[in-house]
Structure 1
Amino acid sequence: MIYLTNGVRQRRYDVFKETNGDFYHLAQMTRKPQEVLNKTADQLAEYKLNMAKYVLYGRVVGVERADKVIGRTVLFIDIDDEGNYPDTSKSLNDLLEAYSVLHVIYPTISNNVKEGARLRAGVALDRSVTAEEYLKLWSVLLTSIGLHGDDTAVNKSFKQLQGLYVKTSQNAENEPIIYSDGHTLPVDEFIKIYDASPKKYRKNTLSINGFSVETSKKNVPNWAEHNKKFIACLLDPESNYMLFDGWDNMLTAVGGWTFKNTYGDVRTTVETVEAVNKLGSDPISNSELKHKFDTWFKRWGV
């Protein structure tokens, strides 16, 4: 299924099904993009907020942006501020083409407005994947090519939208790549690659303000390792939410941990979770957060 919005402020999806498949839709939207020419950087930023098309391919339980995403059928890789567009897009295309995997690569609306390569790749998957599987596929591809992708778009709460190709006067010199003669990426085979060498693709570290902190010291009790994860999320949730397999899971865990360790202090629990949520680049809505509090406190007998 295909879930679209116009701009990032729309709270409901426009939902439809492409009979030729989700990747076909992505390829068509890349061949015939929106065009926003002769606009300033400020005008493009406003267009991005309110009119640019954003997409999620997969399955959502409902039609609200706050609803749970249970699977995705296209993997997106975002590259920001690394090298230049021609070299970076060629490296990424060479890798995906070597696997004969269906994909598109296109400059984002920020390309040649902000410095460095600004591009997005969409890769067709042979089946719908969960949040954990999505992260594994993303990690294997990025590690294989030696690039640093924007990991906030991987599994923020497994419902982050990706912008479709918008042709601007600024990015027009960088042509998109559409590889439509291959096959879908074999999900299970790539997951096996990850599972065979997990340390290679996901180091056992906490990241706090750009610093990596090892978590594998000997003779450290389990409760101490457990608490270190919570402290890392309190200081830098954007870098560490995947320690709990997703943004929503992280907020739930932080809420329970705070409630327990403050002897059931409701106010401190609410303020802590709200503060952590605000540190994210795409925090969940206040209404969704309120629903979480209602559920938690009912469960805890408050």
Structure 2
Amino acid sequence: MIYLTDGVRQRRYDVFKETNGDFYHLAQMTKAPQESLNHTADQLADYKLNMAKYVLYGRVDGVERVDKVIGRTVLFIDIDNESNYPDTSKRLNDLLEAYSVLHVIYPTISNNVKEGARLRAGVALDRSVTAEEYLKLWSVLLTSVGLHGDDTAVNQSFKQLQGLYVKTSQNAENEPIIYSDGQALPVDEFIKLYDTSPKKYRRKTLAINGFSVEAGNRKAPVWAERNKQFIACLLDPESNYMLFDGWDNMLTAVGGWTFKNTYGDVRTTVETVEAVNKLGSDPISNSELKHKFDTWFKRWTI
């Protein structure tokens, strides 16, 4: 099944079934993309938020964004910080063509707006996969091609939507790649590769600002993963509020987390929630927020 939204704030999926298969839909949407031409970076950000089409291919237990994702039938790889689009897309394409795997690669709406290669690859899978299987496939492909990808959909939110190709004046020089003369990636064979040599495909230690950071050789505790979600919402709530299944739920969670971790500092809690709320394109009103604080402070504990 195909689950679509217009922008990231839509709470309910537009659901339909493509008789030719999920990947066929992705290929067609890449061939005939949306266009947002002659727009500034700020205008593109607004378009991305409210109008660009986002998709999830697979199966959801319901039609609401809060509902559980049972499985996914297209694997997405997001690349944000590599050298440039032509070289990075070629490396990905060469790998996937070598396996004769159906795929598309296209520049994201941020390509040539933000620095570095900004691209997304969609890979057809021969069956629906769980979150654990998705992570294994993603790891094998990224390790094989020697690239670092955005791991949000594999480590934080399996229900994350991916943006379809939007042609802009900024990214128009970077043509998408559509490889439709092949086969879906054989899931069981690639999972077997991971299971045979798990250490080979786990993410390696990265050097960030001079510090050594372990990224994947051991599983982070639940509290650490949860804290990562809170920090993501503090930095960019519009992109991450569905980690808490809705804007109001996100504000409630951020407030409770701040209150607890500041040992009940009311002022810091209020200022933090207000600041996060203001980062939204459609923030809740001050009067509604005040009412919520009256309720929250009665039940929050430190």
Distance 2:120 2:10 in 1: 22
Q: 1:233 to 1:73 in 2, by over 3 A?
A: closer
Q: Does 1:33 align with 2:33?
A: yes
Residue 120 (structure 1) aligns with: 120
Q: Is the 8 A contact 1:206 1:229 kept in 2?
A: no
Looking at structure 2, the residues matched to 273 and 127 of structure 1 have their Cα atoms a distance apart, in angstroms, of 42
Residue 271 of structure 1 deviates from its aligned partner by 3.1
CA contact (8 A) 2:35 2:166 kept: yes
1:290-301 equivalence runs, <5 A: none
Identity of aligned residues (%): 79
Q: Does 1:139 align with 2:124?
A: no
* Residue 229 (structure 1) aligned with residue 221 (structure 2): yes
Counterpart in 2 of 1:18?
Answer: 18
Q: CA 1:273/1:124 → structure 2, altered by over 3 Å: closer, same or farther?
A: farther
Give the aligned residue type for 1:229.
P
Aligned amino acid, residue 156 of structure 1: Q
TM-score normalised according to structure 1 size = 0.73
Q: 1:230 to 1:105 in 2, by over 3 A?
A: closer
Q: Aligned equivalents of 1:111 and 1:215: distance in 2?
A: 27
Q: Give the whole-Å Cα distance in 1 for the aligned partners of 2:223 and 2:205.
A: 13
Q: Distance in 2 between matches of 1:184 and 1:193?
A: 17
| Matching residue's letter, 2:190 | F
SS of 2:134's equivalent? helix
Supply the distance in 1 between the matched residues of 2:22 and 2:105 (Cα, whole angstroms). 16
Cross-structure match for 2:234: none
2:279 alignment partner in structure 1: none
Aligned CA-pair RMSD: 3.8
Paired positions, count:
251
Structure 1 gap ranges (5+):
217-224, 240-246, 252-269, 280-302
1:178 aligns to what? 178
Cross-structure match for 1:262? none
| Amino acid paired to 1:93 | N
Amino acid at match of 1:271: G
**C-alpha separation in 2, matches of 1:56 and 1:274:** 35
Distance 1:155 1:72, change over 3 A: farther
Residues 170/180 of structure 1: CA separation in 2 closer, same or farther (3 Å cut): same
SS in 2 for 1:181: coil
Aligned partner of 2:256 among 271, 276, 279: 271
